[in-house]
Structure 1
Amino acid sequence: MAKEIPFFKPDIGRSEREEIESVLALEGETKIEDLENLFVKKTGATYAVSTNSGTSALHLAMCAMDLKRGDKIICSVNSFPSVPEVVRHFDAEPIFVDIDGEDYNIDLDAFEKILSENKSKKLKGAIVTHVGGQPTDLTRLYEIAREYNIRIVEDASDALGGTYDGVPIGATGADITCFSFSPHMKSSIANAGMLVCENETFYERSVLLRNHAIQSDGWDKYGNLEYMYDVVDIGCKYDISLLDAAYAYAQYSRIEKMIERRQQIAKMYDEALSGVRHVTLPVRKRDHIYQLYIVRIDRNRDGFARALKGRGVHTGLHYIPLHLLSYYKQKYGLRVNDFKQALQTYQQVLSLPIYHNMSDSDVEYVCDAVKEVAAAHI
């Protein structure tokens, strides 16, 4: 019988259980503040605002920027649907850009070309996704942003704990950076997101709007609203629960060990799968925390994935280009060949399992399965 290797499996250790138990026992101070303070400490950002998901953090970022109907936001066509979705909620318009064929991040040449040809004052900024845990070329990105005076929001869902030239993601120069604690899970054990920034106005607006834009003298540690309150804007319900915050705090407290283990696994993959027929390994261009390990299959990717699943190895696809999804294709009249690099990449990429609690034997099993399938692949 084949061994079962899920695409991702959450890790619940002693620290997670202890943090959650302390919340259930109604002991101590709120874990929400602990989590936000830990983010400030680890990233070096000035402000941190916790949310109930990474998508909520992205939406709050658009709220903080005061996005309006008809405004335009640039984003990579190789992103999760949450990216253009938060733009469309304002009846604003996403502008899609093709990708770099090596790291699958936004193509900065195409990005700059769009800005150089832009005649609209409605173009406010860009949401830039760090695919798989490898950031885009932030030095160049920020130079372009300064030249054309636009805001940069980094979608760091895959870059929790990551760095760029040794500097923590979240303090490298973006206007706002958003993180997710469960970027690739449909049904998470716990959901949490985080928004970090340097701008006090963005911070205060995010804090206000994440909980119905309620102003009050305060809330007690159990979440009870004080007697009198006012509502000063149209807000959201994006605040994180104490239990989610406790779990996220425990996870983030040991994020360095998680990243170190994923990097070890990536090295094992690199060594075992180098030169395997039909399989091209990831290109590392910058600091990489391997939230995803994305390979390319030179032909019949879907058949390759089915064969791996038959051996118990579950895989992922990151991502289906946004212009191929029904809503955006129909809304903007997009054609299949409009983003050629993203299309070619989509037809070949396959994400192998990589999570820090994979055992060496799990990794070896995946490698053996890939080799077996590759040897028989036609």
Structure 2
Amino acid sequence: MLPYGRQSISEDDIQAVVNVLRGDFLTTGPAVGVFEEALAKFIGVKHAIACANGTAALHLASMALGLKPGDQVIVPSISFVATANGPRYVGADVIFADVDPDTALITPAALEEAISRADPKRLKAVFVVHMGGNPVPMAEISKIARAHGLKIVEDACHALGTESTADQPWNVGDCTYSDMAVFSFHPVKTITTGEGGAITTNDDKMARQLRLERNHGLEREREGFGNAALAFDTDGATNPWYHELRTLGFNYRLTDFQAALGLSQLGRLPEFLERRRALTARYREAFARLNSDTLRLVEAPKGSNSALHLMVALVDFEGIGTSRAKFMNKLREKGVGTQVHYIPIHRQPYYVEASASPELPGADRYYARCLSLPLYPDMKDEDVDTVVETLQAVAAG
């Protein structure tokens, strides 16, 4: 069976974890900081703050923005539910934006339309999603958002390694056009720490706040202490055990053995990216030969060098004369696993009740056709051919 995604674990990855397990620190040790520095260097950003998972990263980013109950945040409807849940955890109301029906990316026009439905006094931020690994047109999105005084968070959980050559060249996550970006290191993502995530930013104050919130809200730095009688010895030295609860944070830490795996995976990231791009090119060549009106791939935006996490086909199930469920089941019977990314969040029962549910035709149109095909570094070239040939055969009935 070819799954839609799968981790790639080497003996070096395993040894990196074993080395930590045999060491002194399983958590709150030095490996996390080393991983953060390496991640920041690769992306080209000042700060990378590792955390428990991508959802925790979205929650931490929402807290660092200072979002509170009654605030409004714009989120595209096509994403994993965590993109909306992050700001919702702190009480913010979600205004859902439509997406391009052929790419699932938020567009400048869709952002403007969502802003028109928001309360200008309550609207505080926009969370954009680099869906599947393709980059949002950040220069245009940023211009619109900044004109309305909005903060910007990139949900880059699919897009580690994606580059844009449009306008001013930038890397996803370097925060050229945003305040923060969040990543996920779930096993099917470009690199993995098992579970894990990170937030990147160039803002020193935000970085400090993120680290504080990640670790219960406990202040351990001298300059942040407020209770001198408890914090300091009679000679003014800091009491070595001392810490203060400055805010109500969370235990969103990454462990040292997860960080060790992440650091080893980062060392393999260039080969992962090369392989994903080679497989993507093979898929595109195979689909071009199909020349089909009912089967095609999501196209990469112009001026992008995408590192795809998802290989999404757009399938006209009605035109083929079958349902998506039947189509997926037939593919599975023939050894090809697929998945759907994603059900529009504005259609989820919780958000139907929690927020206004506008008609978002682009999101609905994308959802009706999307089907994620196998894509992961350990795939062979001939696996791509097998997937496309099986897809064609099933579509032909």
TM-score by length of 1: 0.91
> AA paired with 1:70?
G
SS of the aligned residue for 1:356 comes to coil
Aligned to 2:138: 138
Look up the match of 2:40. 40
Q: Is the 8 Å Cα contact of residues 49 and 210 (structure 2) preserved in structure 1? A: yes
1:283 aligns with 2:299: yes
Percent identity of paired positions between Structure 1 and Structure 2: 29
Q: 2:327 aligns to what?
A: 304
Alpha-carbon displacement from aligned partner over 1:90-117 (angstroms, at most 9, x marks no partner) = 2210100110122211132021133356
Per-residue deviation at 1:250?
A: 1.3
CA distance in 2, matches of 1:152, 1:14: 39
Q: In 1, Cα distance between the equivalents of 2:242 and 2:24?
A: 26
Q: Which amino acid aligns with 2:211?
A: V
The answer to whether the aligner puts 1:364 opposite 2:385 as a matched pair is: yes
Q: Which runs of 5+ in 1 are unaligned?
A: 219-224
Contact 2:95 2:118 in 1 (8 A): no
Structure 2: distance between partners of 1:307 and 1:229: 58
Map 1:94-113 onto structure 2 (within 5 A): 94-113=94-113
RMSD over aligned Cα atoms? 2.1
Distance 1:164 1:84 in 2: 25
Q: Note if 1:324 corresponds to 2:347.
A: yes
Mapping for residues 106-255 of structure 1, pairs under 5 Å: 106-116=106-116, 118-165=118-165, 166-171=169-174, 172-182=176-186, 190-216=194-220, 227-255=241-269
Once residues 268 and 310 of structure 1 are traced to their aligned partners in structure 2, the CA distance between those partners, rounded to angstroms, is: 24
Deviations 1:202-228 (A, max 9, x none): 11110111010112369xxxxxx9623
Question: Take 1:302 and 1:362, find their aligned partners in 2: how far apart are those partners?
Answer: 22
Q: How much has 1:354 moved relative to structure 2?
A: 0.2
- Alpha carbons 1:175, 1:199 under 8 Å: kept: yes
CA positional deviation for 1:54: 0.9
Partner Cα separation in structure 1 for residue 388 and residue 329 of structure 2: 16
Q: Determine the structure 1 residue equivalent to 2:337.
A: 314
Question: Are 1:160 and 1:181, in contact at CA under 8 Å, matched by a contact in 2?
Answer: no
Q: Is the 8 A contact 1:133 1:158 kept in 2?
A: yes
Runs of 4+ in 1 over 4 A off after TM superposition: 116-119
User: 2: distance between equivalents of 1:318 and 1:52?
Assistant: 22
For 1:277 and 1:325, locate their aligned partners in 2 and report how far apart those are by CA, in whole Å.
Answer: 30
Between Structure 1 and Structure 2, whose CA radius of gyration is higher? Answer: 2
What is the CA–CA distance in structure 1 between the aligned matches of 2:206 and 2:107, rounded to whole Å? 28
**Partner amino acid, structure 2, of 1:292:** L
Which letter maps to 1:44?
G
Alpha-carbon distance in 2 for matches of 1:216, 1:354: 43
- Residue aligning to 1:5: 2
Helix, strand or coil at the partner of 1:347: helix
C-alpha distance after superposition, 1:78-99 (max 9, x if no partner): 1110011111112210100110
Are 2:395 and 1:374 aligned? Answer: yes
Task: Give the CA deviation at 1:277.
Answer: 5.6
Aligned residue identity for 1:239: R
Instruction: Tell me if structure 1 keeps the 8 A contact 2:193–2:259.
Output: no
1:357 and 1:113 map into 2 onto residues whose CA distance is: 42
- Listed as ranges, the gaps of 5+ residues in structure 2 are 223-238, 318-322
1:237 maps to amino acid: N
The residue number in structure 1 matching 2:31 is 31
Q: TM-score, normalised by structure 2?
A: 0.87
**How far 1:281 sits from its partner (Å)?**
1.6
